[in-house]
Chain A
Amino acid sequence: MTQLKRRALWSLLIWGVVLIAIVIIFFSGGGPTAFLEGESKNTLTRVCMTIGFIFYFSMLFLTRIRPGGEPLVKDERDELIEKRSYSIGFHTLLSYVFLLCSFLYGYYKGIHGIKLISVGWMWFLALTSLFLGLISNAIATLVLDARMSGHGKS
């Protein structure tokens, strides 16, 4: 397995678990308003994020390319996949932020006629966009790697 694929799999697993945990914490017991008031929820979110980053950076360290240690684990095709997956991840992220903001606007103003919404949604948007970006990048890497298609850059 190439370094790129190994990292994408671990990244998907780590950030997938963190994202699910954060969404559950956020919506359990009242949603954005309750999230702002509940100190334990904030602490739990920080703990989840910290654990996620510890696992992530440990994974990056453990899967690094050691000079002279292993056979070549990254080549031009991997770099091509990496570039494309960053692009897909970026566009997925843009779409997600746009769609979530549009949904919140439509839901609160259009349906309920409310002009102000809880600032807790900002924290939700910040957290989920960060992890969704990383997850979509990992998924794109795995899909592109499985398809194996492309042209090397000369």
Chain B
Amino acid sequence: MAKAEIKNKVRRLRFENGEMTQQELADRSKCTRQTIIALEQGKYVPSLALAFRIARVFGVSIDDVFEYQD
């Protein structure tokens, strides 16, 4: 069975939002900067709750941040 992947646009959205720093995004989405780094590198997939918090920080829907790929 092929492994499903979840891609994200966190890095791009940060730059589109006034070059928001990783620390600022981490503080506003209630996680650590290390988690944001891992997310941007595609090494970590967040929980649904964190995914919603990140999307809310950028003022977009969860689909605009995360993309599910079969």
Query: Which residues of A does B touch, CB under 8 Å?
Result: 2, 71-78, 145, 147-154
Contact = CB atoms under 8 A, between A and B. Distances in A.
B10 to A, nearest CB: 14
Interface string B41-61: 101111111100000000000
Nearest to A150: B44
Interface of B: 23, 26-27, 30-32, 34-35, 37-38, 41, 43-50
Nearest to A153: B47
A72 B45 CA distance: 19
By CB atoms of chain A within 10 A, which of B23, B31, B49 has the most? B31
B27 A149 contact: no
By CB atoms of chain B within 10 A, which of A71, A77, A147 has the most? A77
A154 B48 contact: yes
B37 A148 contact: yes
Given A2-B32, A71-B27, A76 B46 contact: yes
A76 B49 CA distance: 10
Considering the complex of A and B, which 10 residue pairs feature the smallest CB-CB distances, nearest first?
A152-B47, A154-B48, A148-B38, A75-B31, A151-B45, A148-B43, A77-B35, A149-B43, A152-B46, A154-B47
A74 B32 CA distance: 7
Given A147-B43, A150-B45, A151-B45, A72 B34 contact: no
A76 B35 CA distance: 9
